[in-house]
Amino acid sequence: MTQQAGVLYVVATPIGNLDDLSPRARRVLAEVDLIAAEDTRHTARLLNHFGMRTPLLSLHDYNEAERAPRLVERLQTGQSVALVADAGTPLISDPGYDLVRAARAAGINVSPIPGPCALIAALSVSGLPTDRFVFEGFLPQKTAARHTRLGQQVRETRTLVYYEAVHRLAESLDDMAQVFGGARPAVIARELTKLHESMRAGTLASLAEWARTDSHAAKGEAVVLVSGAATASNTADADSDAVLAVLLEELPLKQAAALAAKLTGQKRNMLYQRALKISKTKNPSR
């Protein structure tokens, strides 16, 4: 009889608050034969907190290529392995890619135990559009490379999400303000799920200024979210809304829409609907 292969579990762990370790993650971490961890001392503290004694093996960027095939061999002999990062979801700007690729190529069952992830947590509370977004991970550390990368993203209309080391936050925000324009709206999500959790929204210019001058900005961990570039159609909508808002100060809805249609060249019916929305926002009782 051939040996039944083990399962490789990709387990998300807390990004701050230990209560965010799910019951299923706890069970898997307690039951697997081995935990492959980015930093074994860090994960040992998590295991101690929950009274677990599962053996640990380090798996980080510098040894992953060499360790992945050996871990696959262990999986093939029927052992089960959990992969964890220091915080959040493995492989999301964290090690694990080589191992997951190798395990899948060998036909091993790779199963996710989903949970915390800083980018999703930040996006979900940012107030920026979430229907379409791009995750850009960490920007390059060297200024010239960072500018080049940002330059490639200037026209991106989806919400942009970046991880950033706090000691580079001010510098990166300055570069974003230079490349995307200081008026672009953005949000900084700091220390999520921790004691000093905070969200700060503003223009890139104001956030860069804050990061340069406020000592709190350079502490903890942060996700940077930047509003996507305005598309031609939402720029046109914003322009016609501005025209309508002025006209509605002086004219009834129908006349405001008719005059706005002449001024902007947009359709009168559509402008009437927008005018209706604007006047409802200004006078909710109407």
By the rule CB under 6 A, 201 interacts with ligand SAM: no
- List the x/- string, 142-181, binding to ligand SAM by CB under 6 A: ---------------------xxx----------------
| Residue 30 bridge partners (DSSP) | none
By the rule CB under 6 A, 194 interacts with ligand SAM: yes
Positive or negative torsion for Cα 24, 28, 29, 30: positive
Contacts of 86 by beta carbon, 8 Å cutoff, 6+ apart: 13, 37, 38, 39, 42, 43, 94
Q: Which stretch binds ligand SAM (CB under 6 A): 21-29, 80-88, 103-111, 211-219?
A: 80-88
**Coil, strand, or helix at residue 30?**
helix
Among 22, 58, 79, 93, binds ligand SAM (CB under 6 A): 93
Residue type, 67: R
User: Tokens 């031609």 belong to which residue?
Assistant: 232
Token readout for 55 is 């053996």
Token readout for 166 is 């706090």
By the rule CB under 6 A, 89 interacts with ligand SAM: yes
Q: Which stretch binds ligand SAM (CB under 6 A): 1-9, 51-59, 128-136, 190-198?
A: 190-198
By the rule CB under 6 A, 118 interacts with ligand SAM: yes
Cβ at position 258, least distance to ligand SAM in Å? 50
* DSSP strand pairing (198-203 vs 185-190): antiparallel
Cβ at position 196, least distance to ligand SAM in Å? 10
| Residue 56 bridge partners (DSSP) | 35
Cβ at position 14, least distance to ligand SAM in Å? 9
- Closer to ligand SAM at the Cβ: 122 or 260? 122
* Residue 55 contacts residue 103 (beta carbons within 8 Å): no
Count the site residues for ligand SAM by CB under 6 A: 24
